[in-house]
Structure 1
């Protein structure tokens, strides 16, 4: 059978595009090299708890079109992301807000907080930040940087902040209200019953094959459809012929604990460098669970090498130049479309992934009834 579209990758981008294609009467074959659908938003039930296998995914958007779209496929609860940061034996609320500053300096008013931060910044005399450390110090002052930015960032990137370029941190928002809501978006929540159920609904009607590595079986599949939508790594598609783009990877240690509440919050960041993991996720709190046991995941940031799972593109100047060269190759393809986080070499929030897949569908099917 010849399909209209071969979609490589059963993550959010591929699933949304498949749904839109099928809604227009197209046939789709969807492949994924993993043994499950859902990509990095895959959730699985453990001890009756929806576990985010590849890290915490909290849906948030201010785009009503995207919110209305995804709500066709799930009911969302009212979860609000309010992380806690642990620095040595001190606990702080995130994002940086009056609760953070009150705890840090034993103050009460926004005026006091502004004066301390502005005073620290002025004392540093940084006019042109030469690296990430100087950039962060010039934005938030010494105390916030030392306790809540430095160690966490160095673990995330595997490098000293002095050795990272300044542009990585363009802004570090300071909120002078007592508000622990991490996101400013109007619409927020977690899908009741997990994300995998959304992908299952989006892919209804498509032929889905998991455990298939398209790039290793290209000869078998490249003529299976009129067009290919490729959501994997664009450099891998081209055999790294221009060199490998850089990514950061993440390793997860997940365990079931015989207690009903381990840390009292879904997300706890560990911001001193001596703690090897960046954060601990307690999955039950995403859905306000009351199960007798709990499941936690520790996240360890790591260097990426060819063959590892890529998570975060390193969008520095060198990699951006290399990506543009691959994008030029992609622009010359007649029947291959690249999309998603890896295909576009961009860090996308979930709402942006959905929006870009819908935009692709609109372009592909423009003029069709």
Structure 2
């Protein structure tokens, strides 16, 4: 065997696992079907702007060990995620806070805002919500739901809110302070110079090959290593023998504009159902750029298919039960380590993927 580990997928999980394995003296080969490393955190430099090619990635965590870990590969800036929502030509701050309530109703005190929300919840809410719409109305009332949740959610999921299960929205945080910081985490920022610095640091000194379809060369590739770390779709690994897991996908339309500043913010959500995209990203604001041109990306939700990249697992009862069947097969395949968003059929933030990879690599490497 040439390698201790063949790692399928050069995203965060695979890259962190490879880095930890190399530190433990193991030899790894990392492959990826895309023509670049880094998975969905890959950045493309366009006119000096680091473009988040697969959507906005904002690092945030409360875990100091993980924060120290990523900072060992790149210095992070002070970027704070403060998205804005636009609905029928009016702007609203997110997350829902005192600025949002003032923009909706002209309220100036927490007591005034709470009173309106309570009245709307009492009028429009449900004791036992049967779907997402009823759940949202029961949590925040009519105005917030109709202007800032309904259209965005229906575009994101590709169906009416009344057709979505209530559990998708377990809670909707309401802040009765003038605070536009989207995340509550202690640590937050963007790596100065883009996420490729993290990937390059993780994979330094490790053999990598891009543009490789694992399933077209599976037997040959498997023969090169003692064990496989698989970060792709778990149902595909097992040849969809129980059926296909469902995903939502995204289409990213990038555009370079001959202006310094298009929207004044990195993230602007479009919550009206009449607008086909869910948000516009202006990438230069992630790093406080002053370039003469700007690059924007419109995000269009899509139904998952064989031709569309899978992004969000649809964790309803049917899919979760199907995933458990594949998970059982994975447990019966000890020579393969399954990890990451697609292999675990789980939505992960970046810090959670890193935490999972650190935990799993430690477990595997200490058992050898």
Scaled by the length of structure 1, the TM-score of the pair is 0.99
Deviations 1:99-132 (A, max 9, x none): 0001100110000000000000001251100100
Deviations 1:204-256 (A, max 9, x none): 12110000010111122011100000000000111111000000000011010
Matching residue of 1:90: 90
Matching residue of 2:27: 27
Matching residue of 1:118: 118
Matching residue of 2:305: 305
Deviation at 1:193, TM superposition (A): 0.5
Alignment of 1:187-266 (within 5 A): 187-266=187-266
Deviation at 1:50, TM superposition (A): 0.3
Alignment of 1:2-81 (within 5 A): 2-81=2-81
Deviation at 1:355, TM superposition (A): 0.4
Unaligned runs of 5+ in 1: none
Query: Does structure 1 conserve the Cα–Cα contact (< 8 Å) formed by 2:124 and 2:138?
Result: yes
Deviations 1:308-350 (A, max 9, x none): 2000000111100000000000000021010000010000000
Matching residue of 2:363: 363
SS in 2 for 1:342: coil
Distance (Å, rounded) in 1 between the aligned partners of 2:124 and 2:110: 22
Deviation at 1:367, TM superposition (A): 6.0
Deviations 1:37-81 (A, max 9, x none): 000000011000000000000000000110011110010000000
Matching residue of 1:345: 345
Distance (Å, rounded) in 2 between the aligned partners of 1:263 and 1:133: 30
Scaled by the length of structure 2, the TM-score of the pair is 0.99
SS in 2 for 1:340: coil
Distance (Å, rounded) in 1 between the aligned partners of 2:125 and 2:9: 49
Distance (Å, rounded) in 2 between the aligned partners of 1:109 and 1:200: 48
Distance (Å, rounded) in 2 between the aligned partners of 1:254 and 1:361: 36
Deviation at 1:142, TM superposition (A): 0.2
Matching residue of 2:138: 138
Deviation at 1:201, TM superposition (A): 1.2
Query: Does structure 1 conserve the Cα–Cα contact (< 8 Å) formed by 2:125 and 2:141?
Result: no
Matching residue of 2:172: 172
Matching residue of 1:288: 288
Distance (Å, rounded) in 2 between the aligned partners of 1:367 and 1:208: 25
SS in 2 for 1:297: strand
Distance (Å, rounded) in 2 between the aligned partners of 1:337 and 1:7: 9
Distance (Å, rounded) in 1 between the aligned partners of 2:275 and 2:86: 10
Distance (Å, rounded) in 1 between the aligned partners of 2:314 and 2:334: 28
How many aligned residue pairs are there? 368
Query: Does structure 1 conserve the Cα–Cα contact (< 8 Å) formed by 2:9 and 2:230?
Result: yes
Distance (Å, rounded) in 1 between the aligned partners of 2:221 and 2:69: 31
SS in 1 for 2:359: helix
